[in-house]
């Protein structure tokens, strides 16, 4: 049976965390330090975890303590909002949804993800882009609700996470029209040509390395980037050939800013949604995770 949370204890914990010490929190709450310390200890015992580490007379939030503080802030924020709404002072806030995405995820995919969320429910959306380890850390700590990625976590990093594939497309090399002559003799024709590659934060980079090894190609990588927008600009400017999934460059192909040099047989880019397991799922994130398609 889940233990009942004492909300006085939760408020005391929140105040201690925000003030940085028991003494400052006790002064603010007008309570004795021994009383407040005892309340904190009792709260930790009920939860069965340490919320703080004691270091040189300082209280440092543990990782679980940081998660608990985020929840505490939201709980008391909702309580204040409830009071204001009941007294007709404000309209209720939109539910918040935090979406994360690797820099390499096409912006069109992110747009469609946001549109799907707003279609499901009026909500306030925060968008964050970053590297895989940063996003996974935020997702695991429940500070992020859903992540769009092309690189599935493995081993310990995958603990407590669930994934679902939303699209899988062939990969091809694209370049400015001046490289059109390389269509003849592909893939040998790109050996020694300037290339714009993803970094090793993407599974695609490993697949490209393997593909090049199989075909015995000499790779001249002049630019590495995870940002798909940056890579497209570089390719359009004629700085090199860019390998990417076919769905990422339809407008550039239509406008003839880029031409397809050749498809990579057996190489695909797959995009996934990641979510963290929760006792109480985020209602909007859970529905997007189950229904979103590209």
Compute how many other C-beta atoms are within 10 angstroms of the C-beta atom of residue 76.
Answer: 14
How many independent structural domains does the chain possess? 3
- Using an 8 Å Cβ cutoff, are 98 and 144 in contact? yes
Q: pLDDT at position 91, please?
A: 58
3-state secondary structure string, 113-174? HHHHHHHHCCCEEEEEEECHHHHHHHHHCCCCCEEEECCCCCHHHHCCEEEEEEEEEEEEEE
Average pLDDT over the chain reads 89
Q: What is the DSSP string of 254-265?
A: HTTSSEEEEEEE
Q: Are residues 41 and 119 in the same domain?
A: no
Which is more confident, 208 or 153? 208
Same domain, 157 and 197: no
Residue 264 sits in the same domain as residue 236: yes
Q: Say if 231 falls within a structural domain.
A: yes
Residue 2 forms part of a structural domain:
no
- What pLDDT shows up at residue 59? 85
When comparing pLDDT for 128 and 278, which is higher? Answer: 128
CATH number of the domain that 32 lies in?
1.10.10.10
285: its two tokens: 């994130």
Point out the domain boundary residue: 42, 64, 86: 86
Do 101 and 141 sit in the same domain of this protein? yes
Query: What's the rounded mean pLDDT across residues 127-136?
Result: 89
Question: How confident is the model over 39-93, as pLDDT tens digits?
Answer: 999 999 988 889 998 877 778 899 888 888 988 888 888 787 777 767 766 555 6
Side-chain half-sphere CA neighbours of 247 within 13 A: 16
Q: Which domain holds residue 257?
A: 168-268
Say whether both 119 and 188 belong to one domain: no
Q: 54 versus 113: which is more confidently predicted?
A: 113
Looking at the structure, tell me whether residues 51 and 113 fall in a common domain.
Answer: no
Assess if residue 1 is contained within a domain. Answer: no
pLDDT at 93: 66
Residue 20 pLDDT grade (very low, low, confident, very high; cuts 50, 70, 90): confident
Average pLDDT (152-170) is 89
What digits encode the pLDDT tens for the residues 178-190? 999 999 999 999 9
Is residue 91 in a domain?
A: no
**Whether residue 283 has pLDDT greater than 90:** no
Q: Are residues 257 and 189 in the same domain?
A: yes
pLDDT recorded at residue 285:
92
Residue 151 lies in a domain: yes
Residues 205-239 pLDDT 10s: 999 999 999 999 999 999 999 888 899 999 999 99
What is d(CA 176, CA 170) in angstroms, rounded to the nearest whole number?
A: 20
Residues 176 and 256 placed together within one structural domain of the fold:
yes
- How many whole angstroms separate alpha carbon 255 and alpha carbon 225? 24
In a domain, 233, yes or no: yes
pLDDT at 88: 64
Q: Is the pLDDT of residue 281 over 90?
A: no
206 in a domain, yes or no? yes
| 150 plus 277 within the same structural domain | yes
Q: In this model, does residue 13 exceed pLDDT 70?
A: yes
Q: How many Å is the maximal CA-CA distance in the chain? A: 82
The least confident of 8-12, 19-23, 152-156 is 152-156
CATH classification at residue 196? 3.40.190.10
């Amino acid at each position: 049976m889940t233990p009942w949370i004492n909300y006085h204890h939760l408020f005391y914990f929140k105040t201690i965390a925000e003030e940085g010490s028991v003494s400052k929190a006790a002064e603010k709450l007008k309570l004795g330090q021994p009383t407040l310390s005892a309340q904190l200890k009792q709260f930790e015992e009920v939860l069965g975890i340490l919320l703080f580490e004691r270091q040189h007379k300082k209280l440092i939030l543990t990782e679980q303590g940081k998660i608990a503080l985020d929840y505490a802030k939201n709980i008391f924020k909702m309580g204040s909002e409830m009071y204001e709404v009941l007294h007709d002072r404000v309209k209720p806030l939109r539910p918040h949804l935090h979406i994360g995405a690797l820099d390499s995820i096409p912006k069109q995919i992110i747009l469609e993800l946001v549109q799907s969320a707003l279609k499901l429910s009026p909500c306030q959306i925060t968008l964050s882009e970053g590297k895989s380890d940063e996003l996974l850390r935020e997702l695991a700590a429940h500070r992020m609700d859903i992540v769009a990625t092309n690189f599935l976590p493995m081993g310990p990093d995958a603990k407590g996470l669930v994934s679902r594939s939303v699209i899988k497309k062939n990969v091809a090399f694209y370049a400015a029209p001046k490289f059109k002559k390389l269509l003849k003799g592909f893939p040998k024709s790109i050996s020694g040509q300037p290339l714009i590659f993803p970094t090793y934060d993407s599974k695609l980079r490993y697949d490209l390395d393997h593909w090049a090894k199989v075909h015995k190609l000499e790779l001249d990588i002049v630019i590495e980037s995870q940002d798909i927008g940056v890579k497209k600009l570089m390719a359009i400017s004629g700085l090199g050939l860019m390998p990417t999934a076919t769905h990422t460059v339809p407008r550039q192909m239509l406008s003839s800013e880029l031409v397809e040099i050749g498809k990579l047989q057996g190489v695909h880019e797959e995009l996934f949604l990641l979510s963290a397991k929760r006792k109480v799922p985020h209602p909007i994130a859970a529905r997007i995770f189950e229904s979103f398609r590209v």
